[in-house]
């Protein structure tokens, strides 16, 4: 049965308290084992780059240096893979799952395809990310820091699904008064980038890892023009410039400069609420329900050791960007933020999805 937001928060708080109560114990030796880390997207997107970055580091950090293999299970905007993970009962540390905002949003919105429960899973690491929206060269030449000169253009966008993380750019572009036609059903943002590269799409967005690894080269070649980032969340709750792309304006800045776009009211509040749920704690590594606490602690300790590496900041910024990484109890708290939005924001988005995409959610 689906849990309420209150119940989810209570579950996570209880799990966090339990983690603190467990006495320290020796890490479990994982020698000779193969860990399969399943990503519910295609191998070309930001989640793939995130997992492929951490996999060899995790192998090195875990006791016994097991093999860590990243596997891909795209489909239904990541709900296929998440539903599969919900059924996994192998709690010996050989099964992992990587969630993203596109997995979190269907859960938050009550998508009928969701048969998974985040409260059952064991988070061992969470990390934030950002996102960059960009235009093709022709239309990008019209961009002046506002969307005023883009409102007469019809853009094409490769969309993973209306209830996925792509609702962040879709709602942002609508608020800016832009006309964007959505081609629904791609398997991951990497596939959206391929559509853009081939000219099938004229506007795109990538999470930071996908942008750094693939889209930035198109910008350097003059084939794409950055428009904006979604920004980063400051400690006081304000949206500020993304630390990975400080030279780019945020959506908030572009909105404030664009005629008719407002950074207050129900639409803005809904956008911001889902941005907070989808990006500051966007990518989370899980072990399945039933995993022994000693194994959970072993993985959390390994990720903590990765974070503590003297070279971690240097190697991660090039692949993932400058974003926080959480382990142990902090990862549990990050999960709580990622799967909680207030009722007003949810109601607004549910109504907007029905009006704009014909999506009926109960």
Same domain, 22 and 157: no
With a cut of 50, say whether residue 8 has pLDDT above it. Answer: no
Query: CA 10: distance to chain centroid?
Result: 23
Residue 115 lies in a domain: yes
CATH of the domain at 157: 3.40.190.10
Band of residue 235 on the pLDDT scale cut at 50, 70, 90: confident
**What's the pLDDT score for residue 25?**
56
> What pLDDT, on a 0 to 100 scale, did the predictor assign at position 187?
86
Note whether residue 91 is domain-resident: yes
Instruction: Say whether pLDDT at 22 is over 70.
Output: no
154 within domain boundaries: yes
> Do residues 137 and 96 both lie within one domain?
no
User: DSSP string covering 232-288, please?
Assistant: EE-TTS-EE--TT-TTSPBHHHHHHHSTT--SSSHHHHHHHHHHHHHSTT-EEEEE-
The reported pTM is 0.85
Q: End of a domain among 277, 299, 321?
A: 277
At 206 the three-state DSSP class reads strand
Same domain, 58 and 192: no
- Check residue 14 and give its pLDDT: 40
pLDDT band for position 66 (cuts 50, 70, 90): very high
For residue 120, the enclosing domain spans: 5-128+280-343
CATH classification of the domain holding 31? 3.40.190.150
Q: Are residues 108 and 169 in the same domain?
A: no
**What is the tally of structural domains in the chain?**
2
What's the CA dihedral at 14, 9, 40, 155 to 10 degrees?
Answer: -160
The residue out of 240, 257, 277 marking a domain boundary is 277
Query: How does residue 118 score in pLDDT terms, banded at 50, 70 and 90?
Result: very high
Retrieve residue 130's tokens.
């950002």
Positive or negative, the Cα torsion across 129, 292, 38, 7? negative
Q: In this structure, is residue 359 part of a structural domain?
A: no
- 330 belongs to a structural domain: yes
Give the number of other Cβ atoms within 10 Å of residue 145's Cβ: 12
Q: What average pLDDT score do residues 251-272 get?
A: 97
Q: How many CB atoms lie within 10 A of CB 133?
A: 22
In this prediction, residue 74 carries a pLDDT of 93
51: pLDDT strictly greater than 80: yes
- Please determine, for residue 17, whether its predicted confidence score (pLDDT) is greater than 70: no
pLDDT value at residue 178: 98
**CA–CA distances in Å: residue 176 to residues 145, 179, 180, 290:** 12, 9, 11, 46
Fill in the DSSP letter of residue 150.
G
pLDDT, average across residues 298-322: 96
Provide the H-helix boundaries in the chain: 5-21, 46-61, 79-86, 101-109, 137-140, 167-175, 189-198, 208-210, 216-220, 251-257, 266-278, 293-308, 312-319, 329-338, 343-357
Distance set, CA 49 to CA 114, 210, 279, 283 (Å): 25, 7, 16, 11
Q: In this predicted structure, what is the pLDDT of residue 5?
A: 40
Same domain assignment for residues 96 and 181: no
Higher pLDDT, 236 or 10: 236
Give the pLDDT confidence score for residue 15 in this predicted structure. Answer: 42
Give mean pLDDT, residues 2-23. Answer: 39
Per-residue pLDDT tens for 182-233?
999 898 899 999 999 999 999 999 999 999 989 999 999 999 999 999 999 9
Q: Measure CA 346 to chain center.
A: 18
The residue from 262, 277, 292 where one domain ends is 277
Residue 357 included in any domain: no
Is 273 in the same domain as 290? no
């Amino acid at each position: 049965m689906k849990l309420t937001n209150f119940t989810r928060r209570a579950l996570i708080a209880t799990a966090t308290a339990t983690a603190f109560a467990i006495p320290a114990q020796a890490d479990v030796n994982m020698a000779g084992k193969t860990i399969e880390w399943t990503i519910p997207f295609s191998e070309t997107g930001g989640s793939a780059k995130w997992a492929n970055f951490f996999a060899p580091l995790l192998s090195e950090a875990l006791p016994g240096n097991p093999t860590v293999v990243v596997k891909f299970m795209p489909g239904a905007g990541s709900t296929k893979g998440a539903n599969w993970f919900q059924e996994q009962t192998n709690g010996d540390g050989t099964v992992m799952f990587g969630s993203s905002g596109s997995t979190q949003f269907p859960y938050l919105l009550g998508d009928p395809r969701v048969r998974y429960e985040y409260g059952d899973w064991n988070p061992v690491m969470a990390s934030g990310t950002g996102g960059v929206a960009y235009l093709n060269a022709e239309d990008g030449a019209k961009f002046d820091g506002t969307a005023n000169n883009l409102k007469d253009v019809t853009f094409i966008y490769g969309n993973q699904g209306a209830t996925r993380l792509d609702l962040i750019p879709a709602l942002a572009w609508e608020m800016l008064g832009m006309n964007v036609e959505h081609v629904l059903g791609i398997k991951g943002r990497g596939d959206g980038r391929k559509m853009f590269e081939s000219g099938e799409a004229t506007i795109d967005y990538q999470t930071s890892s996908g942008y750094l690894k693939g889209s930035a080269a198109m910008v350097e070649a003059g084939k794409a023009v950055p428009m904006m980032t979604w920004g980063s969340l400051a400690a006081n709750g304000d949206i500020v410039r993304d630390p990975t792309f400080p030279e780019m304006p945020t959506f908030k800045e572009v909105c404030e400069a664009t005629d008719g776009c407002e950074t207050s009211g129900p639409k803005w509040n809904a956008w911001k609420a889902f941005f907070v749920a989808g990006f500051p704690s966007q990518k989370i590594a899980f072990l399945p329900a039933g995993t022994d606490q000693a194994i959970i602690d072993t993985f959390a300790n390994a990720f903590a050791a990765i974070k503590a590496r003297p070279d971690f900041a240097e190697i991660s910024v090039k692949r993932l960007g400058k974003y926080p990484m959480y382990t142990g109890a902090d990862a549990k708290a990050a999960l709580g933020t990622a799967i909680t939005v207030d009722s007003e924001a949810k109601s607004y988005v549910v109504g907007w999805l029905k009006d704009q995409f014909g999506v009926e959610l109960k």
